[in-house]
Structure 1
Amino acid sequence: MPTDGGATGFDLTERPWIPVRRRDGSEAELTLTEVFEGADSGPNGIRRIVGDLPTQEFALLRLLLAVLHDALDGPAGVGEWQELWEAKELPVQQIRDYLGRHRDRFDLLHPKAPFMQVADLHTAKNEFFPLDRIVADVPNGAPFFTMRARGARRLGFAEAARWLVHAHAYDPSGIKSGAVGDARVKNGKGYPQGVGWAGNLGGVFLEGRDLRETLLLNLIAFDSDIRTDDQDRPAWALPPTGAAALRGAEQVYRPYGLRDLYTWQGRRIRLFADDDGVHGVLLCYGDPLDAPNQHHREPMTAWRRSPAQEKKLGKNQVYMPAEHDPARSAWRGLESLLQGRAGRQRGEAAERLRPGVVEWAAHLANDGALSEDHPVSVRTVGAKYGTQQSVIDEVTDDRVNLRITLLARRSAQLRQAAIDAAADADQAVFALGNLATGIARAAGLDTEAPRAQARDRGFGELDHLFRVWLAGLASDSSPQEERRKWQRQVRRAIASVGRELVDAAGERAWSGRIIETDKGDELWLTAGRAERRFHYELATALPLTQEPDEPGD
């Protein structure tokens, strides 16, 4: 029993615990049942989940998807999915009946099978520990930038449930408590087994205009390319776990499908509570799940081919989850989100695979089940770990707004124009960085900081412009003309920043000095010469901005 002071139960189907934002901007905390009941586009409908961290939102969304998949036992194919989409509301009664059948397994404090926990989990010394071990917003060495400067001493049942779900998904690696009954334990300790499954991912999901749309856009049919087995069930529909991890055939063949994967028990956890809330936790390692070549199972991340893993594992083809770079906006990695099998050469496997949820949306558009001009947001969420993956250093959260038409097969030229437009921005900002470098060299100064600052400024100027431009691409847009419009915006914005850099150049930069070029020649470099080179590079990077009679150099 996970309680120690008389707490009688906390039914997640009837007690509020999931934070949401409604379409009118107000926020609330709802029961699991209420979330599905209010997920439509009505005046008080739910716009989205709002977790304590973006990673918590991602973990909770996957839990909701597991409930919906299992309640429907589907959708089996595009036809069933389209019926759900056109119904304008979720099958609430079917979901309510399902949650009623599994009600005991959604009790956070159940004496024998507490939600996502092991009731009798214990160490040889019967210890438990502070809740900092599962609360990810308790900082590591930075106590002045948090409301939890003294740690998480006690949590309400609702918040504890959210961090419980998050821990299974994103818990860091490192040495953990050793549970009695786990054969991997040595000297009372559980040695590093890697981060929670979602922590391996550069998380991606599609966000619609309300929660109902978001759930359905990510509800992949069982006849898709994502593998699903008849044994696929979420954690609460499988026998309760013990301290031991999966072994034998189960370890080889699981996860059986999306329901199993979305509720993967990557940790063994036991909460300790009394009537006033949760005050302790025991956190141990659970079921391992290796990242290589899980692209046929995991749809919520892009994938990259890994030569290093191919060599290590002795395999011809290994794909790894493509993680997010916290310093890089999502639109700058647009190719990995939109391009189906990027970098593929004749006879060679693709270098990158777009996320399965994006592939699924493209399939819906190609089959006419989803309007090509329907707006969606591609959300990117991820955790960056530090110190041997034992702490979470950063959490990334970004979105790219676009229309489904960019994913459709018949919009290949428009999709390529969008990808090329992101590359145009990169090339223009590269030229801006060269200008900052040239001015600094002309003045005899270090070039690294000016270049980095100029690039940051350039991407900052283009960020909003690109997002607006991308969201405006529709099924009747002309790829060539839209890209021309974009290049003109880029040239105006980057040229303006360039003028500011030149105007701010000091007398030393204008006077210049002799430098040695990469070819070994000597060159008198001045701010004026760097400026001329900048305009040449900018015109070369953005050829569609040149007038017919404008020289190319």
Structure 2
Amino acid sequence: MPWLDRGRGGLALPTDAVPPYPAAKALAESSMRLPFHFSKPWVLDRAIDELEELMVAAWQTKESPWLAGELILELDEDCQTHLAGYEIEYSRAEGLKVTRPGARDVRLVEHVPSFDLVSRPWLPVQRTNGTTAELSLREVFAEAGSLRRLVGDVPTQEFALVRLLLAILHDAVDGPEEVEDWVELWTRDDSFSAVGPYLERHRGRFDLLHPEKPFFQVAGLRTSSGEVSSLNRIVADVPNSGPFFSMRMPGVDRLGFSEAARWLVHAHAFDTSGIKSGMEGDVRVKGGKVYPQGVGWAGNLGGVMVEGATLRETLLLNLVAAETAEVEFKDEDAPAWRREPSGPGADDPVSLASRPHGPRDFYTWQTRRLRLHHDDTGVYGVVLGYGDALAPRNRQKVEPMTGWRHSEAQDKKYRSEAPVYLPREHDPSRGVWRGLEALLQDLPGKGGTRSGGPAASLRPRVLNWLAWLEYEDVLPRGYLARVHVVGARYGTQQSVIDELVDDVMAMPVVLLHAGDQRYGRAAVSAVKDADGAVRAFGDLAGDVARALGSDPEKHRGAARDRGYGELDGPYRIWLRSLGGTTDPDRARGEWQREVHRIVWGLGRELLDSTTSAAWEGRVVDLGKGPEWFDDTSADRWFRIRLGKALPRAFDRDVPGLGAASAAEHDRGDTDGGTDA
């Protein structure tokens, strides 16, 4: 820099030789850390690549200890440059200043800082070529066809952000009303052309720092004590009870505006329950507190969204049309930014009683009252309280992105609303494929389909919509959709997040076909085949433990976990290929043979690893009096149970076993253990 003192300013730096010692030392003393703008992986990788291009080969020697291996940021005569898509300027008074090129500040009040989500990058994305970037709202919709997906800081954040984009898209196209309207969007190259002008019209409501109407916040929100909480309150990987992941140890002191915007959206969707600080002006406050009002709306859900090959396809596949009658669209349906800003407490009870009016309202429901506290460089604190509570009962006509289960207990409590359906939450211990039946079809209640009673569960309406598209031949039978399930499991009275659910399963849409249910039945039956085989393996482990004198249940549970783990990948591969066959029943037979091969191998491995104590056995009472039980007995029962679970595994020789092994299986002979 020209203003450096002691003769260091303006020294020449040769690029074909090692610089003189004074110049090299002056350059090394001018090093600095890159600011937070470059902390995200997709930005950091690009920055490093660009800086490595500036490395001077002549300086990478042992004669240049000050500069060898260092990354050099070269400024022009005005002390300016570009790096990883940012404009950089260095001044003696302000130091390093980083801005986004073309970013437009919305300064509705002069000299007030602004972070405009329409034009400022804040949404992390993965492109179809595998690279990552951070884009503005306008850029995400403009480039959706070349983007693979959004990349949230946690899986639930991606789900919340996709729902935000869906609310924008529903409102921008004002529908779609009919399937024909949707088909036009699906086939047009400029599907999202209405979004750009729409964002311009509502741009003022997308300003994160707006002094009067900040995005998803309440201007001037404060507690009676003026307390400003740590950002740990809204960052989901640092729950209040302690770090959830070690990457945030020990907590969050500051966030950049882009990351703060993402966690703001996530807080409305998945914030925990528990006692929260009361806000001035909220009539619910008692003793400075508001007692539990429940988790953010999406926290109630077993979230389900359909993913296509690109973000464009993903948004359109989840954009349910009103004509199907699967989801209610009232004329009053509108997102949060087209409503008057919320106050510090809940909205008018009369108004809330008739809402939500549709998906746009639901996807942007303000379950919390928030206000970010910031300075010129980022966010350092938050005020967080309860907003508009929402009971989860019977919302299946308005909330398409979750399955629903019938609750007899709620029927008794809310007789006038019976039958009562609640969101079906995901089980973190089960892969999505093991609950496939509830995704493919509505399940009958007591007495079956002819009883006339309420269904035991309803599949997500977004999958009904996908089935409709396949039935109407809008999507080909073999179209491969990725069903992405997302959810949060809360603990300690819903005051902390215990686990996050994140699983994806690719399946052909023909599985959802209402007229041709052969494929769906085969897929569900294949899961039951796997269940039976895994139970047989679990029982084998329990029987071996019994022969050893150990607790059967402990070993049975561990074996079942392993069995499902071994079948997880093969089932997903088999399911992907199911749509390409003309005979799903034959495909199921092939699946049974594959399951037998895998589980049979697990059983042989377990029996081969048993000790002499299992060979010798012991006397046990299995309910029919004392009998001798050893590993040979366990093996015999395993063969019987596995054969019953997979009756079609021997339609022809079992792959990998051969005729001799199959014959041994039929005789009940064992290749391990001792003679009884």
TM range (shorter): over 0.9
Aligned twin of 2:360:
259
Q: 1:119 & 1:247 partners in 2: Cα distance?
A: 18
Report SS of the residue matched to 1:246: coil
Deviations 1:6-38 (A, max 9, x none): 761100001000000001110000000000011
Aligned twin of 1:512:
617
TM-fit CA distance, 1:316:
3.4
Structure 2: gaps (5+ residues): 1-110, 653-661, 669-676
Aligned twin of 2:426:
324
TM-fit CA distance, 1:180:
1.2
Deviations 1:196-219 (A, max 9, x none): 000000000000000000000000
Structure 1 pair 266/419, CA: closer, same or farther in 2 (3 Å)?
Answer: same
- Greater alpha carbon shift after TM alignment, 442-451 vs 140-149: 140-149
1:11 aligns with 2:113: no
Aligned twin of 1:305:
406
Report SS of the residue matched to 1:181: coil
The percentage of aligned residue pairs carrying the same residue is 52
Q: Check whether the contact 1:379–1:399 (CA below 8 A) recurs between aligned residues.
A: yes
Aligned twin of 1:375:
480
Q: Check whether the contact 2:237–2:244 (CA below 8 A) recurs between aligned residues.
A: no
Which one of the candidate residues 438, 457, 465 is aligned to 2:570? Answer: 465
Aligned twin of 1:454:
559
> Which aligned pairs between 1:239-250 and structure 2 lie closer than 5 A?
239-250=340-351
TM-fit CA distance, 1:108:
0.2
1:416 aligns with 2:517: no
Aligned twin of 1:336:
438
TM-fit CA distance, 1:477:
2.8
Aligned twin of 1:398:
503
Report SS of the residue matched to 1:544: coil
- Greater alpha carbon shift after TM alignment, 239-248 vs 530-539: 239-248
Deviations 1:386-439 (A, max 9, x none): 110000011110011011111112330111110010111011000000000000
Q: Check whether the contact 1:121–1:180 (CA below 8 A) recurs between aligned residues.
A: yes
1:281 aligns with 2:379: no
AA at the equivalent of 1:134: I
Deviations 1:489-544 (A, max 9, x none): 000000000001111111111111111113x4222111111111001100100111
Aligned twin of 1:363:
468
Q: Check whether the contact 1:336–1:342 (CA below 8 A) recurs between aligned residues.
A: no
Larger Rg: 2
Q: Check whether the contact 1:342–1:353 (CA below 8 A) recurs between aligned residues.
A: no
Aligned twin of 1:231:
332
Aligned twin of 2:395:
294
1:525 aligns with 2:625: no
Deviations 1:234-287 (A, max 9, x none): 001111111121333322110000000000000000111110111110000000
TM-fit CA distance, 1:365:
0.8
Deviations 1:329-352 (A, max 9, x none): 000000011113445432111101
AA at the equivalent of 1:111: P
Q: Check whether the contact 2:241–2:496 (CA below 8 A) recurs between aligned residues.
A: no
1:97 aligns with 2:197: yes
Q: 2:150 & 2:142 partners in 1: Cα distance?
A: 14
Deviations 1:130-161 (A, max 9, x none): 11100011155554942211211111000000
AA at the equivalent of 1:485: E
TM-score, normalised by the number of residues in structure 2:
0.78
Which one of the candidate residues 219, 236, 250 is aligned to 1:119? Answer: 219
Q: 2:399 & 2:667 partners in 1: Cα distance?
A: 47
Structure 1 pair 447/140, CA: closer, same or farther in 2 (3 Å)?
Answer: farther
AA at the equivalent of 2:199: L
TM-score, normalised by the number of residues in structure 1:
0.95
Aligned twin of 1:3:
none
Deviations 1:63-105 (A, max 9, x none): 000000000001001010011111144233x111000000000
> Which aligned pairs between 1:344-355 and structure 2 lie closer than 5 A?
344-346=448-450, 347-355=452-460
AA at the equivalent of 1:63: L
Structure 1 pair 228/500, CA: closer, same or farther in 2 (3 Å)?
Answer: same
TM-fit CA distance, 1:185:
1.0
Q: Check whether the contact 1:411–1:475 (CA below 8 A) recurs between aligned residues.
A: no
> Which aligned pairs between 1:3-152 and structure 2 lie closer than 5 A?
8-40=113-145, 45-92=146-193, 94-139=194-239, 143=243, 145-152=245-252
Report SS of the residue matched to 1:392: strand
Report SS of the residue matched to 1:362: helix
Aligned twin of 1:155:
255
Structure 1: gaps (5+ residues): 1-5
Q: Check whether the contact 2:544–2:634 (CA below 8 A) recurs between aligned residues.
A: yes
AA at the equivalent of 1:288: A
Tell me how large the CA RMSD over aligned residues is: 1.6
Compare relative contact order (CA 8 Å, sep 6+) and give the higher one, 1 or 2.
1
Q: 2:334 & 2:205 partners in 1: Cα distance?
A: 13
- Greater alpha carbon shift after TM alignment, 368-377 vs 106-115: 368-377
